[in-house]
Chains A and B, each alone.
Chain A
């Protein structure tokens, strides 16, 4: 009897572990200096919706640069924009998917917030410093990652299943493909202009 229970428990445990895994791999970005800053994300998980996190995401403006340069968030997330520079900064977006918001200007040490209520790729600009540029990618699922300089990414705990996985990059054409996730799964992408 105890042997049966043990075997059943082990079997159930193995089955549970096999229902999710890391989706990892590489994005080869052609025509740009390196393969960083591509956002890889699962477009939708059938039958599931995801509540936005209570904790705000944070983007800084420091040394006249948006940090991070590219930030994926779950739809519904509120992003806090902090000014860490000794000069005034502004954050606005020309994109309709985020209502072309403009948060005004604020000094060092203060922050202002915006909630991304819709799926959106938002370009962030600063009216005070036109060369500044950042991106928020509001994704429909919490399964997303940003590539490193070598193009590598890892999305943890993606449930097993077949999904459309999308890749977006600030300068290259987006792409997508169907990936069957079964435990730890590898996927490779190539994007270009």
Chain B
């Protein structure tokens, strides 16, 4: 085989990678004042600092947005009856009765950020942005609640404005839940729609107290000539762990402390979904088709957790002594997770750290690549000791990468590439209004010629009120041979 060559010098690609390091964008908000209104209770009943959930909040979420052992008198907004309870005895001679939330179950989150960034590429060239007023950076409209005894819903519409003033709107979540369908309460539940799967319970960005998300988990692109080299822009979606899925998921809590979930989702498709061949394929992958693939194939995932100590995962407190401060407990939660899928038919142009890799047979145009099989396995740990919560994930990924000719007609080679990623985060409650967080992430890409990415994230949050917070967050992402990005953001978030 002729040796591959490269089409362009590395610095441009390095710049793009560097930019992508930054674009592990802010974690979407997930605080629902809807429930504060429904139960006439403060946000801190369920959140340490929103959107991070305390033990009660996690139980509320897993219970399908219901309080543990919820009774009618806890619900201050009387629901609208769509039929008397007695109609259950009349069915099927009448429609099964249900309820609607008493008030429109809507909430708004507004985020504003003053952004300071400094990016240095491998050649030492530096770009600095001082005080970029991103007012607003993001506005989210939420709808969430229950529909009777066994159904729930959640939807999120996000409008984001970029630093250059361009903007975009996305349906981030839209799902229905069906709770306690079989067996004991909380044992068997189904969710379907577009949602953050329970595969990521405890570390999905929407439940982190930090503004920056976990790039090492969710934004890594494993497709590359020798394996993945780094991040992709979050908006493009990635073939590592998709932050949200279009899928159907079963989950449950058994015996208060054992959690399970398994699900199937549409294949993710960050590249082109309609590969082209022949002359059309030269330096082109054809038309992109969004973040999800409409093929028959479905990716599958599974996770099992056990929680020792503290409140049960369904909110059970029998035999447990809990401190009066609702963010405190002594507990340890351990989980194992796995995801398997393939991105066959999702077409990429092969590249490495120096740029597109030219097919020597063609002489001018790059190879094509497809990720024909991938598997992710991981371990989740979360330890809470009074005011301190230390948690993290270790993730191992394997991708079978198919290298194809420049005209996409010939299979050149197939190689298995592995990558590893982990993060450790410590959140500490100094006092109820004051919180700090420190996180370290490390990603070892599949391309062993590329250095690991290391990220440090430090956060100080002042909870001015239960629904208003100020954050000062420092982030440094460093990948030797690619560059270093630093940011210092001042963020204000309000939920109402």
Contacts and interface: CB of A to CB of B under 8 A. Distances in A.
Interface string B321-346: 00000000000000000000000000
A75 to B, nearest CB: 21
Interface residues of A, number: 14
A125 B90 CA distance: 10
Contact of A130 (B72, B78, B83): B83
Contact of B84 (A30, A31, A33, A125): A125
Interface residues of B, number: 17
Given A33-B78, A94-B89, A131-B83, 14 more contacts: A31-B73, A32-B71, A32-B73, A125-B90, A130-B83, A130-B84, A130-B94, A131-B80, A131-B81, A131-B82, A133-B84, A133-B86, A171-B85, A193-B71
22 contacts: A31-B72, A31-B73, A32-B71, A32-B73, A33-B73, A94-B86, A94-B90, A123-B84, A123-B86, A125-B86, A125-B90, A130-B83, A130-B84, A130-B87, A130-B95, A130-B97, A131-B82, A132-B84, A133-B84, A171-B72, A171-B85, A193-B71
A123 B94 CA distance: 15
A33 B77 CA distance: 11
B72 A133 contact: no
A127 interface: yes
A162 B110 CA distance: 66
In the A-B complex, list the 8 residue pairs whose CB atoms are closest, starting with the nearest: A31-B71, A130-B83, A133-B84, A131-B81, A123-B86, A94-B89, A33-B73, A32-B72
A134 to B, nearest CB: 9
A31 B69 CA distance: 10
Contacts of B86: 94, 123, 125, 133
A173 B111 CA distance: 48
Interface in A105-140: 123, 125, 127, 130-133
B82 to A, nearest CB: 6
Contacts of B85: 133, 171
Interface string A8-39: 00000000000000000000001111000000
Which among A32, A131, A171, A193 has the highest number of chain B CB atoms within 10 Å?
A131
Contacts of A33: 72-73, 78
Contacts of A127: 94
B87 to A, nearest CB: 6
A31 to B, nearest CB: 4
Contacts of B94: 127, 130
Contact of B82 (A32, A123, A125, A130): A130
By DSSP majority rule, is chain A's interface helix, strand, loop, or mixed? loop
Contacts of A125: 84, 86-87, 90
Contacts of B80: 131
Interface of A: 30-33, 94, 123, 125, 127, 130-133, 171, 193
A171 B72 CA distance: 10
Contacts of A31: 71-73
A157 to B, nearest CB: 34
A125 B89 CA distance: 11
Nearest to A134: B84
A167 to B, nearest CB: 18
Nearest to B89: A94
A171 B89 CA distance: 15
B236 to A, nearest CB: 48
Interface in B86-105: 86-87, 89-90, 94-95, 97
Nearest to A31: B71
Contacts of B71: 30-32, 193
Interface in B323-377: none
A30 B69 CA distance: 13
A127 B90 CA distance: 10
A32 B75 CA distance: 9
Contacts of B78: 33
Contacts of A130: 82-84, 87, 94-95, 97
Nearest to B81: A131
A77 B78 CA distance: 34
B422 to A, nearest CB: 46
A127 B83 CA distance: 10
A95 to B, nearest CB: 8
Nearest to B87: A130
Nearest to A92: B90
Which among B78, B80, B85 has the highest number of chain A CB atoms within 10 Å?
B85
B76 to A, nearest CB: 9
Nearest to B83: A130
Contacts of B87: 125, 130
A131 B71 CA distance: 20
Nearest to B78: A33
A48 B83 CA distance: 41
A30 B73 CA distance: 8
A33 B90 CA distance: 26
A171 B149 CA distance: 14
Nearest to B97: A130
A166 to B, nearest CB: 20
A130 B90 CA distance: 11
A127 B95 CA distance: 11
A101 to B, nearest CB: 13
Nearest to A131: B81
Contacts of A133: 81, 84-86
Nearest to B80: A131
Contacts of A94: 86, 89-90
Interface in B42-100: 71-73, 78, 80-87, 89-90, 94-95, 97
Contacts of A131: 80-84
Which among B80, B83, B84, B87 has the highest number of chain A CB atoms within 10 Å?
B84
Contacts of B83: 130-131
A171 B84 CA distance: 12
A133 B83 CA distance: 9
Nearest to A127: B94
Contacts of B95: 130
Contacts of A123: 84, 86
Contacts of B82: 130-131
